[in-house]
Chains A and B, each alone.
Chain A
Amino acid sequence: MIEVSHLTKRYGDHTAVSDLSFTVPDGQIYGFLGPNGAGKSTTMNIMTGCLAATAGSVVIDGHDIFDEPLAAKQRVGYLPEIPPLYTEMTPAEYLHFVGRAKGLSGEKLKSEVGRVCRRTDIVPVQSRLIRHLSKGYRQRVGLAQAMLGDPSIIILDEPTVGLDPAQIIEIRQLIRDLGQEHTVLLSSHILPEVQAVCGHILILSHGKLVASDTPDNLERLFAGQTTVRLTADGRADEADAVLRGIAGIRYTLEPGETAQAVVTADDPQAGPDELCRRLFFAFAGAQLPILALAADRASLEDVFLELTQDGGSSPAGAQAPALRAQDVVGPGGESLAGGDSLPQGDEAAEASAADAPAGGDAGRQTPAAPAEGGDEA
C-alpha cells in the first residue's frame, strides 16, 4: 500500500510535481502515464527515497519514507529508468552485492539470488560481465535487483524503454506475473503498454494528476460522439453525393481518389449501429458497395492526448459520461486489438508498442471527446 499525499517538488522556480495525491492498494498493477517531463520519474524517485520532496508525504506500508527511510525502503524494490548496474561485475556478483546491501546473508541470500535469477531468466548469463550483456538482459538484471528481498512493492520506471518487441512482450509478461504477488507501480509514456499490463491508470501531466481510473472507464468517459469510418467502392465525388443526401450527419472526405470518409452523427446520443444502418442503405440505394465500415472508438490514446496537451483540463465534460462500451460494433480502432474488453490487449498491441505513441493511430481525426479546446492536430 502506497499513500502519496500532497507531494510537491520544486527545482528553483520550476515545479516538477505539484500537489500530487494518490493511493495504490495492495496487489494491483498501477500504471503511471504521462508525456516526457510530466514528473513521473521525479515522483518515483521521491517515492523510493532517492529524492527529497519540497512538501507532502509518501507512506509505504505505514512507514513514512522521510521519517523512517530504512523501514520504508526495505519494502520497496526500485528499477530506475537507467538500470543502476555496475558493468564491471557479473549479474551473480551484482545481485549478491545488492542482496547483502539489502540485509540478506548466508543461505537466504543464496536462495533469493537463485530465485530472482530464475524468475527473470538470467541464469544463462549470470557469470558474464554486465557490460557484455544486451540491453534486454541488463533490464532483467535491473528487474532482478528490484525483486531481491521480496519487497511488497515494486516500482519500475519505464521498464520496457529501448527493448525490441519480443523483449517487450517478455518483460510485460514478467510484470504481469509480478502483479500476482507484489504491488507494482510502473511508469510509461507508451499507451498500449500501460493498457496491456495495468489494472489502473494514473495520468500525469505537468506534474499534476489529471486522471485516475481503470483503462475501460477512462475510455468510456471520453467516448462522447459517434463517429464511423467508411470506405466505399467508388470515387470520392460519388460518395460525396450519397453522403450529402443523408440528413443529420456531418462528414469529412479523406483526400484522394478512393471514397473514404469519416462520418459523425449530429445527435450525440445516436448509437453507431443506427448510423451504420443509415449509411448502408444510402450507399446500397446508390449502387455503391461499402468495403469497410467501422465505428471509431475513443481510444486511450485520445484520452491521453486530450488530458495531457491542454494543460490537463478535467475529463468530466458535460456530455462525457455516456455508457457506450457495449455500443461498439465492428472491428475497433486500430490501436486496440479486437473489439473485446481491454486489459489483455494482446500480441498485436504489444508489437505496436515499439513505435508508439505516434505510430499507433496515424490518420485519426481530432480527438472524439468533447472538451474545451482539444484540437491540436
Chain B
Amino acid sequence: MTGNEEKYLVYAICDELYGSPLLSVREVLEYQKPKFMPNMAKHFSGVVNVRGAIVGVVDLRTKFGSPADINRKTSMLLCDTETGPIAAVVDHVDCVVAFGDADLERKPPVQSKLDQSYLLGVAKMKEKLVTIIDLNKSLSEENLKVA
C-alpha cells in the first residue's frame, strides 16, 4: 500500500465495472420502481421517495448499455449534485476499494462512449479493469427536462 490512496465505490453496469470516488455517493439504496413523471427527458426514469424527499432517477444502465432485468441486486446510488440529489440505477454494487497511484491510470488516452470530461481514469482491480467516472459531474450535467 502506498500513500496517496483514495477509496472508490465499485459497481457494475451491464457486466462492466465502474468506480466513483466513495465520498461522491451519499448512500446506496435498495431499488424501488420510479414513479413516472410527465414532460421529462427520455432517459429520466421518474421519481422515488427517499424518506420523504422526492428524488429524480437516472438509469445509468440505459445510458451505458442495454439494461438487464431488475433483480435483488439492482441498486440506486444517491448522489448530491449541485442542483439537488439524484439517484442513479446500477446493476449491482460490488465493493469499496482503495486505489493508489500504482493501480490507477488517470486520464488514459482511450476512446469510449462516455463523455471524456466524466472519465477520471482506469484502475486495475485483480484481473479486471474498472472505469473510474465522476458520477456527480455526469449527473449534474444531465438535462432532465424536455425543452
Q: Do A and B come from one complex?
A: no
